[in-house]
Amino acid sequence: MYAVIETGGKQYKVSVGDHVDVELLEANAGDLVELPRVLMIADGDQVQVGKPVLEQAKVTARVLGTMRAPKVIIFKYRAKEHYRRKTGHRQDLTQLRIESIQA
């Protein structure tokens, strides 16, 4: 059984027991969070697809902690103009372990 959820503007395919890194959530380590935006649930041959979400479905996950993604380097350059700009970005992430999928 797996589900496709949406959080932080991104979609993730998750199963029970999976570890997934999502955009930062307002939760502490050890908390249970509900992810109500379930787009699809598949259990063997049975597939439920929402329009756009499944109303009664929810995914429960436990917060393992927060972390920061690897640095992404942004380098702007224009040839022959002595224009160079180098910046970086590290996104804050929340680590989740999927506890249950309820259809």
pTM: 0.85
Q: Are 3 and 38 in contact (CB under 8 A)?
A: yes
Distance CA 64, CA 75 (A): 33
What's the average pLDDT block by block, 10 residues per block, for the chain (103 residues)? 95 96 96 95 93 94 97 97 97 97 91
Omega of the bond leading into 70 within 30 degrees of 0 (cis): no
